[in-house]
Amino acid sequence: MKTVEQLLEEKGSEVYTIGPGASVFDALGIMADKNIGALLVTEAGKPVGVISERDYARKVILKGHTSKELKVVDIMSTEIVSARLDQTVEECMAIMTEKRQRHLPVLDEGNVAGMISIGDLVKAIISHQQFVIEQMESYING
Ligand SMILES: NC(=O)c1ccc[n+]([C@@H]2O[C@H](COP(=O)([O-])OP(=O)(O)OC[C@H]3O[C@@H](n4cnc5c(N)ncnc54)[C@H](O)[C@@H]3O)[C@@H](O)[C@H]2O)c1
C-alpha cells in the first residue's frame, strides 16, 4: 500500500490555507472556488487549526449564526490530527476513522508538507485492490 509521500507525489503538495482572523464567509468562498471541503488554518506559516464544511454546518447554521459575522477562529477545530510522510494509506484511514476526520494535514518536522482527504485514500485503496485483482486474474489464467 502507498505511503503519504507517494500519494502527495501524485496529487501535489499544495495546501490551501486561511488565517484565523478571516471571516467564515471568505473561508467558504475559497472552499467553493477550489472545490474542496476544508482549509488548513495557519498563523505565521504554522498550523493552528482546520476549518471544514462540517464546522460550518454544525457551528454556524445550526446555531443560528451567519458566516459573515463569525471568524474562522470562532469555529475551527484546534485539535490538529495530522499524518506523516512515512505513514501508509491504511494507517491514515485508521486515523481518520478513529478521530472522525475527513482531512489530514501532512506535517514533516513541524512543517506543512501537504493535505490528504478521505477521497484520496479511497482512490488509492481502490487502485491497489484493482492491481491485486489483475495480478490474481493473470495468475489464474496462466
Ligand atoms: N478522483 C480523485 O482523484 C479524487 C480524489 C479525492 C476526492 N475525490 C472525490 O471528491 C469528492 C470529495 O472528496 P473528499 O471528501 O475526499 O474531500 P475534498 O473535496 O475536500 O477533497 C478533494 C481533493 O482536494 C484536496 N484538498 C482538500 N482540501 C485541501 C486543502 N486545504 N489543500 C489542498 N488540497 C486539498 C484533497 O486532498 C482531494 O484531493 C468525493 O466525491 C471524492 O470521491 C476524487
pLDDT digits (tens, 9 = 90+) for 81-136: 999 999 999 999 999 999 999 999 999 998 999 999 999 999 999 999 999 999 99
Ligand 1 first shell, C-beta below 6 A: 11, 14-16, 36-40, 102-103, 115-120, 123
| Site to substitute for ligand 1 among 11, 28, 117, 126, most atoms within 8 A of C-beta | 117
* CA 119 to ligand 1: nearest atom: 16
Q: pLDDT digit string (tens) for 45-57?
A: 999 999 999 999 9
The answer to whether residues 83 and 92 touch, using CB atoms and an 8 Å cutoff, is yes
Q: pLDDT digit string (tens) for 11-57?
A: 999 999 999 999 999 999 999 999 999 999 999 999 999 999 999 99
**Interval between CA 18 and ligand 1 midpoint (Å):** 17
If pLDDT is split at 50, 70 and 90, which confidence band does 77 have? Answer: very high
Q: Is the pLDDT of residue 142 over 80?
A: no
Domain segments of the chain as ranges: 4-140
Predicted model pTM: 0.94
Q: Is the pLDDT of residue 66 over 80?
A: yes
The residue among 115, 128, 130, 133 whose CA lies nearest residue 1 is 128
Which stretches of 44-109 are assigned E, i.e. beta strand?
46-52, 103-108
pLDDT of residue 130: 93
pLDDT of residue 4: 98
CA atoms of 15 and 47, how far apart (whole Å): 11
Q: Which CATH architecture has domain 4-140?
A: Roll (3.10)
| Residues contacting 73, CB < 8 A, separation 6+ | 20, 21, 41, 49
